[in-house]
Structure 1
Amino acid sequence: MPALETLFFDIPQIRRGSLMAYLAAAAFVALATGLRLVLGAWLEGASFVTFYLAVIAASLVCGMAAGWLAVVLSALSAWAFIYSPGLAYSHALGIGFFLLVAAANVVVVGALLATIAKVQSLVRTLESSEQKFRGIVESSPEAMVIVDASGIIALVNARVGDVFGYRRDELLGKAVETLVPKRLAERHRQHLARFATDATMRPMGAGNDLYGLRKDGTEFPVEISLSPLHTPQGLYVSSVIRDITQRRQIEAELFQARQLEQEASRAKTLFLSNMSHELRTPLNAVIGFVQLLEGEQAGPLTPKQREYLGYIHDGGTHLLSLVNEVLDLSKIEAGRLDLSIEAVGVHAAMELAHNSLVSLAEKARVVLILRPANGLPDVGVDRLRLHQCLMNLISNAIKYNRPGGTVTLDARRTPDDRIEIAVADTGRGIPTERQRELFQPFQRLGAEHTAIEGTGLGLALTRYLVEAMGGKIGFSSRPGVGSRFWIDFPVLAAVSHPVATVSEARLAPVLTAGPGRSLLYVEDNAMSARLVEAILSAVPGLTVLSASTAQEGLEKAIRHRPDVIILDINLPGLNGYDLLARLRHAPETRDIPVLALTAAALPGDIAKGTAAGFFRYLTKPIDARVLQAAVEDALTEAAA
């Protein structure tokens, strides 16, 4: 190709088909004629030689059309100036032969020029493609190394120098293992050989840690993507190399942050558990003894005493509600809220919440209205959490109402086949400019400056619980007129079920232990022990034994063999779980029903207690009726 370029590509070219091209062809013929006149006397046949040169020159410089003009003009010149005035037969044959050879020259030169033009175009295309390829490689933001099948570096871009510290000329022709730590070089060669047998685009060393080696000998983590390049010279492998040192540092920092977050979460859970235990233990005594006094087990009460006990009971209940709400909120934020979804009758749930809050409405001089919701299908929710949501909405409607106002509880089936339960009140309403703040935790919209008790958690918890059960919550409010809050859930079944009202539920019968029955309570807190003894002292025929340590409780259990044992979990020395294990191991006590009664009330604590094998897991503060019912079940189990 360089010879062709020297012979032809550098010849001055005149635009084909132009007037200048034809004039140049005529000039070449005129020059050939003049040269023939000069050389004719000394060189036989010089006329044909000079005219051949004119035709070839015209074809090369001016194109085929001009070459044909040169042929014609050369024939006329030979006829007019060389063979005139007469034309011999031999001369005619000579001119004919000249025309034939000249025409062939024009055709050959034209074909040669066309071939050269194609070759030139192909060369330029290849050069352009190579330049584009090199430009793409060079402009890549990642380091790119191209090697042949034997692993010899054929091309690198400038980014390789930034990443590895080498100059371009220091890498070209070197083995690619120059960029690989020595301890990994053999594995790299094996991988390259395997890639050559199955050359497809893929990441290198998937699942393995890859490292590069800089010129200064330092190693750094890399990520490599391989691509095959099939060329006439054979297979080449293109590798894109990314320095992922910064990514690894970020990943390490994120991992450390996650560990710190987990530690903080564990610390938070431990704090909440301890706080719950420390608050529930004194609340257990406050609420429990108030229940005993209200039941007049210690004697009749005066109206003033009953009034004061009501204040104590309300304060203790409010504090317990605050503890429960904070714990619920922490569980929701941690994503550890446990739900037990089941079919729940809408009217039964509404009636239970209504009956639970009638006394609160009466104290506030608010009329609580329950509209029948019979005939509606069930909803799939957590029964206790739905009750909690309804209690929150109704209690808010009562608290923020006005004396003589009303709270209406009703339900309906919506056009999109959902069950909507609504609580409407005639209270003060919510200011329009503050309605967007309504469901934020600890937000009371100014009510914190009033005598109305509250934590600002009720609505936030209700929204979380409703959405966790697959429902939606909304409201409408007009300042000075009232508010309407609603929750809705998908219909669980297409048919309704008979509604069992709360009034039809049987209350548990009064506990009767029977003669000679005994119960052992192991509790290190004297107030809690005294409270349980007081609650169960009214049970005819039941003897209550007590122990303040696990070791004392184990000894008394083996010696007295009580019918039922109640354990606190947080005991000094051996805890309740350790004591339960020893009771189950001893043949004298292995069959005795054991109940847990503890202030450890987090979901994890309850799940652990249930899995440990307690007959019942009861939490403080104690509800006297729940405790009595659990003891009755345990005595029945022991008798069986």
Structure 2
Amino acid sequence: MSSPDMAQATPGLAPTLAVLQLLDAAWFLADADGRAGQACARVTAWLGAGFGAGHWQDLVHPDDRALAEGQPVGERGADRRWRMADGSWRWFAHRSQPMGAQTLHVLQDIDARKRREIAHSDAAGLLDSLRLHLPGVFYKLDADEQGVPHVTFVSEAVRELLEYEPDEVEADFRRIFDRVHPDDRERFQAIVANALRTHADTTFEYRVVLPRKGVRHVAGRACSALQSTGRQARFGYQHDITEQKLYQEALVQARAAEQASELKSEFLSRMSHELRTPLNAILGFAQLLKMSTAEPLGAEQWARVDVLERAGRHLLALVNDVLDLSRIEAGHMALHMGAMGVRGVFDEVHSLVVSTAHAHRVSLRRPTWPDLPEGPLAVRADMLRLQQVLVNLMTNAIKYNRPGGDVWLAASLVGSEVCLTVRDNGQGMTPEQQAHLFEPFNRLGAEGSDIDGSGIGMVIVQRLVQLMGGRLSLRSAPGEGTEVSVFLPRAESQEVAAPLAPWPGLAAQVGGGEPAATPASSAPAQAAQRPVDILCVEDNEVNIALLTSIMELRPACALRVARSGAQALKYVAQRRPDLMLIDMQLGDMSGLDLASSLDRDACTAGIPRIALSADAMPGTIREAQARGFLAYVTKPVDVRPFLATLDQAIEQLG
């Protein structure tokens, strides 16, 4: 029905309908039960041709229907969603007015405006949520007509970030500069001024000094946006990055410490090599001179060479001690903890120091330990380092004793600990000497005596015991002797592993005994009769000369020399040797690299090899053993043990 027809059908509506037509509104009539009746063409276009077939409430969105049904008829209205002809929902301003027995309903399309309001409301709610819950600070910076910036919005987190109330910052944003660290203030002010002038996106960091929290690190980002006023506004976010900065600084420090540690390890390895190489020649040729039978030394010459050898061994002991202490302090002393029987440890230590005791005319009393019903007494420690500790204590007890003195080695069970005690009846120490016992290089007045030592042995003992989770105790009195006890965790006897051989070089550090002026023992008969082709890979001419002289004591061995890893590979390809002696620190490659190259070739794989190296680092020794080296001989070479190792390797050749 057209509007004129409707006006005629419903007297009195003509003025109203004319106004509605001008307002671009739509209308329909409904009876008292809500059943739709007459409607304008726009309503049927919006809501569908079948609009009048039912109740108008059926077309209202369920969330809005309750309000519509409960609203009394009168001069009232509401914004509601109506289902359109295509099934979509659209917002209308709905007003109703009684018209006799019917009610006039007016709909005005407000969908676009309503959706903008909802979006704005959602955005405002999201902004409020962000303002309350995000850890950082959101803010908006506007400039007035004079170009003076003002903070028009700042989130609640400013209380934590800058220790200001939001209204304080909004009143005067320059308060922020009062919190900026003095060293960063000028730079930060320049960043802000440039951003306000250029409207460029910025990323920045600065420090603040807060009344409660002190110095904190802040990071931020900001950008500009053109407002409806035609002026640019600044939007930004700032947050506390102090923890991140501290982590980064700790990471940098850790990397620097790691790098320094690596450099120190490299330095220690290089120092070990550089110091041991000349000692190898000194001690090696001294031993050969004393062992010579072709041109034996006279008594006076032998004595002088003996002094030379002893001085070299003293220097070697000092080098070993310094390197050990450096490794401990650098955190590079790797321990291999395990259970070991006390009796086996005592037997090994006793065998290592017995010659020193004889040389000083000191008696080693029989070691004692308790017999336990559950099994042998066992201790948890690094097996080789515990030997080093006890050898050091026993050697001190011997050297600082008196002729005819005694040394005791005993073990006892003290609660959950095993107490290993070394006791002597020698010189003893004053309380003042005891106070300085663990100071590096302090020999407690023995510097002018004929007792050799470095003054750092007890420092190493203390550090090693601590690394193994133990502790030391000391009792001493002048003229009565000294008692040192090592307390270590007890281990169960069933955990005890097979005893290990002493750490390479440990026996050499003991020193003391007079080397016998006798020639080296000959090789076993079967080894001596069999020609053996030995390839020595060594790049130091002095070491080559020493090895050549040593091998003269084994005439059945034919020695070839390669002065580099590359030359060794060439010689091996020409003729496969029976045995190789490989220096571990060659100029062109390491001994391990050479071994890998040999093993990659089926023709050269499996050649027996012995490592010769001035690098006495335990980790290097273990790696060489893991890579298939028969033995690892440290420089300076001790001639007799080296020949014994060589003979054993030759015997295994078959």
Cα distance, 1:393 vs structure 2: 0.7
User: For residues 481-509 of structure 1, what are the alpha-carbon distances to aligned partners after superposition, in whole Å with 9 as ceiling and x for unaligned?
Assistant: 22111113333235899999x9xxxxx99
Aligned position for 1:524: 539
Q: What residue is the counterpart of 1:266 in the other structure? A: 262
Give 1:409's aligned residue.
Answer: 408
Return the alpha-carbon distance in structure 2 between the equivalents of residues 364 and 629 of structure 1.
Answer: 27
CA contact (8 A) 1:593 1:637 kept: no
- Asked if 1 retains the 8 angstrom alpha-carbon contact of 2:614 and 2:635, the reply is yes
State whether structure 2 residue 381 is matched by structure 1 residue 364: no
Mapped contact 1:348–1:499 kept (Cα < 8 A): no
1 CA distance for matches of 2:351 and 2:627? 36
The amino acid across from 2:575 in the alignment is H
What letter is aligned with 2:170? R
Whether the 8 Å CA contact 2:138–2:237 is kept in 1: the answer is no
> Residue 303 of structure 1 aligns to which amino acid in structure 2?
A
Q: Are residues 1:384 and 2:380 paired?
A: no
Deviations 1:268-310 (A, max 9, x none): 2222211110111111122222333333355434333332233
Partner of 2:473: 474
- Provide the secondary structure at the position in 2 that maps to 1:491: strand
The partner residue of 2:284 within 279, 288, 310 is 288
Name the counterpart of 2:431: 432
Aligned equivalents of 2:649 and 2:321: distance in 1? 31
Whether the 8 Å CA contact 2:522–2:554 is kept in 1: the answer is no
1:560 alignment counterpart: 575
CA distance in 1, matches of 2:565, 2:137: 71
Q: 1:249 to 1:447 in 2, by over 3 A?
A: farther
Q: Tell me the secondary structure at the aligned position of residue 269 of structure 2.
A: helix
Q: Is the CA contact (8 Å cut-off) linking 1:566 and 1:597 kept in structure 2? A: yes
Paired with 1:438 and 1:543, the residues of 2 have a C-alpha distance of: 52
Q: Does residue 349 of the first structure (1) align with residue 365 of the second (2)?
A: no
Measure the CA separation in 2 of the matches of 1:292 and 1:636.
Answer: 23
Report the Cα offset of residue 390 of structure 1. 1.4
Q: Per the alignment, do residues 611 and 423 of structure 1 end up closer, same or farther by CA in structure 2, a change over 3 Å counting?
A: closer
Is this contact kept in 1: 2:419–2:487, CA < 8 A? yes
The residue that corresponds to 2:144 in the other structure is none
Match of 2:635 among 620, 634, 639: 620
Q: How does 1:151-166 map to 2 (within 5 A)?
A: none
**C-alpha spacing 1:437/1:221, structure 2 compared with 1 (3 Å):** farther
Give me the whole-angstrom Cα distance separating, in 2, the residues matched to 1:457 and 1:558.
48
**Structure 1 residues 210 and 560, CA, compared in 2 at 3 Å: closer, same or farther?**
same
| Sequence identity (%) | 33
The runs of 5 or more residues in structure 1 that have no matched partner are: 1-141, 172-180, 186-208, 224-242, 503-507
Larger Rg: 1 or 2? 1
Q: Give how far 1:358 is off.
A: 3.2
Is the contact between residue 401 and residue 425 of structure 1 (CA under 8 Å) also seen in structure 2? yes
Going from structure 1 to structure 2, the CA distance change for 1:435 and 1:218 (only over 3 Å counts) comes to farther
**2:560 pairs with one of 524, 535, 545:** 545
Aligned residue runs from structure 1 range 484-499, under 5 A: 484-493=483-492
Q: Could you tell me how far 1:438 is from its partner in structure 2?
A: 1.9
8 Å Cα contact 1:408-1:425 kept in structure 2: yes
Whether the 8 Å contact between 1:523 and 1:529 is mirrored in structure 2 is: yes
In structure 2, do the counterparts of structure 1 residues 638 and 410 end up closer, same or farther at CA, with 3 Å as the change threshold? closer
Of the structure 1 ranges 278-287 and 425-434, higher mean CA displacement relative to structure 2 is found in 425-434
**Matching residue of 1:222:** 239
Please give the alpha-carbon distance, in whole angstroms, between the structure 2 residues aligned to 1:343 and 1:167.
Answer: 68
Relative distance call for 1:622 and 1:482 in structure 2 (3 A) is same
With 627-636 and 317-326 compared, the bigger mean Cα shift is at: 627-636
Aligned-residue offset at 1:562: 1.1
Q: Could you tell me how far apart the structure 1 residues matched to 2:545 and 2:391 are?
A: 32
Pairwise CA distance, 1:459: 0.9
Report deviation, 1:423. 1.7
Rounded Cα–Cα distance in structure 2 between residues aligned with 1:494 and 1:584: 41
Distance 1:219 1:143 in 2: 10
How far did residue 563 of structure 1 move?
Answer: 0.5
Letter in 2 for 1:222: H
Aligned to 2:299: 303
1:461 counterpart = 2:463? no
**Inter-partner Cα distance in structure 2 for 1:555 and 1:480:** 66
What's the offset of the Cα at 1:458? 0.8
- 1:482 and 1:298 map into 2 onto residues whose CA distance is 47
CA distance in structure 2 between the aligned counterparts of 1:159 and 1:473, rounded to whole angstroms: 52
Deviates more, 1:342-351 or 1:248-257: 248-257
- Equivalent residue number for residue 68 of structure 2: none
Counterpart of 2:586 (choices 560, 571, 590) is 571
Q: Is the 8 A contact 1:276 1:323 kept in 2?
A: yes
Pair 1:583-2:583 in alignment:
no
Contact 2:339 2:497 in 1 (8 A): no
Q: How has the CA–CA distance of structure 1 residues 530 and 281 changed in structure 2, closer, same or farther, with 3 Å as cutoff?
A: same
Deviation string 1:415-468 (CA, Å, 9 cap, x unpaired) is: 425432222222332221342332233332333354432222111111222232
Partner of 1:235: none
Contact 1:379-1:419 at 8 Å conserved across structures? yes
Change (3 A) 1:531 1:373: farther
Residue identity opposite 2:282 in structure 1: V
Task: Name the CA shift for 1:554/1:153 in 2 (closer, same or farther; >3 Å).
Answer: closer
**Is 1:168 paired with 2:170?**
yes
Rounded Cα–Cα distance in structure 1 between residues aligned with 2:234 and 2:279? 68
Query: How much has 1:592 moved relative to structure 2?
Result: 1.3
Q: Distance in 2 between the 1:495 and 1:562 partners? A: 45
* Inter-CA distance 153–589: structure 2 relative to 1 (3 Å threshold): closer
CA–CA distance in structure 1, aligned partners of residues 644 and 235 of structure 2: 73
Note the C-alpha offset of 1:581: 3.4
Q: Give the 3-state SS of the residue equivalent to 2:485 in structure 1.
A: strand
Aligned-partner SS, 1:583: helix
TM-score norm. by structure 1 comes to 0.59
Give the Cα–Cα distance (whole angstroms) in 2 for the partners of residues 263 and 458 of structure 1: 28
Cα deviation digits, residues 123-145 of structure 1 (max 9, x gap): xxxxxxxxxxxxxxxxxxx9988
What corresponds to 1:609 in structure 2?
624
Note the alpha carbon deviations across 1:302-351, whole angstroms, 9 max, x for none: 33333223322222222111111122112222222223334433234334
Q: Secondary structure at the match of 2:491?
A: coil
Aligned mates of 2:632, 2:238 — CA distance in 1:
54
* Unaligned residue ranges in structure 2 (runs of 5+): 1-134, 141-152, 174-198, 204-217, 225-232, 502-520
Q: What's 2:181 paired with?
A: none
Report the Cα distance in structure 2 between the residues aligned to 1:464 and 1:597, rounded to whole angstroms: 29
> How large is the Cα RMSD of the aligned pairs?
4.3
What is the Cα deviation at residue 355 of structure 1? 3.5
1:168 counterpart SS class: helix
One-letter amino acid of the counterpart of residue 425, structure 2:
T
Q: Is the 1:402–1:428 Cα contact (8 Å) retained in structure 2? A: yes
Q: More helix by proportion, 1 or 2? A: 1
Q: How has the CA–CA distance of structure 1 residues 569 and 161 changed in structure 2, closer, same or farther, with 3 Å as cutoff?
A: closer
Q: Alignment partner of 1:167: what SS?
A: helix
Contact 1:347 1:373 in 2 (8 A): yes
Whether 1:316 and 2:312 are equivalent positions in the alignment is yes
Give secondary structure in 2 for the equivalent of 1:414: strand
AA matched with 1:452? I
8 A contact 2:137–2:237 mirrored in 1: no
Q: TM-score, normalised by structure 2?
A: 0.58
* 8 Å Cα contact 2:440/2:456 also seen in 1: yes
Deviation at 1:621, TM superposition (A): 1.6
- SS of the counterpart of 1:476? strand
> Conserved in 1, the CA contact under 8 Å of 2:200 and 2:223?
no
Q: Alignment partner for residue 607 of structure 2, among 581, 592, 609?
A: 592
C-alpha separation in 1, matches of 2:482 and 2:202: 72
What code does the residue aligned with 1:167 have? V
